[in-house]
Homo-oligomer: A and B are copies of this chain.
Amino acid sequence: MTEGNDGRLDLSAPATPEMMGLVHAVLEQLWEAHDDVAATDRVRFEMAVIEILGNIVEHAYEIDSTDTGSRRFDVSVAATETELVASFGDNGLPMSIDLSDVAMPDELAESGRGLALAMAAVDDLSYERENGRNLWRLTCTRKG
């Protein structure tokens, strides 16, 4: 949870599409508290965060669709002098694909760009399955 950064914002909420707006609001707050973060860095970080959250909401609970109540995620975002960092945790099903296999699909494909876009946007994206939880970590090295 990006320990050591006292300015971080942590949210834990049900994994529903409506929560995407709240995560945008969390990021708006982060930018307000760190008004020196360059627009280019905000844009690519926010986009990657929303892609990963969108995947959690859409995919991580697909098969396990009986027990809506317990579908939750948590997210922590922080800005340091040099980096923007986000980490996600969720108790959904494990990711089916290997990040090293992710590639941008055909130009006219209507879907399948989420992970490729997130990976292109940030400087580091990692995924781990730990203690029955999915853990995602995103890092942008600040350019601005």
Q: CB within 8 Å of B: which residues of A?
A: 6-14, 16, 18-19, 21-22, 25-26, 29, 32-33, 69-72, 74
Contact = CB atoms under 8 A, between A and B. Distances in A.
Q: How many copies does the complex hold?
A: 2
Main secondary structure of the interface of A (DSSP, over half): mixed
A29 B33 contact: no
Contacts of A29: 13, 18-19, 21-22
A12 B13 contact: no
A15 B71 CA distance: 28
A70 to B, nearest CB: 5
Contact of A7 (B6, B11, B25, B69): B69
A6 B16 CA distance: 12
Given A9-B11, A9-B13, A22-B26, 5 more contacts: A7-B69, A19-B29, A22-B25, A22-B29, A25-B25
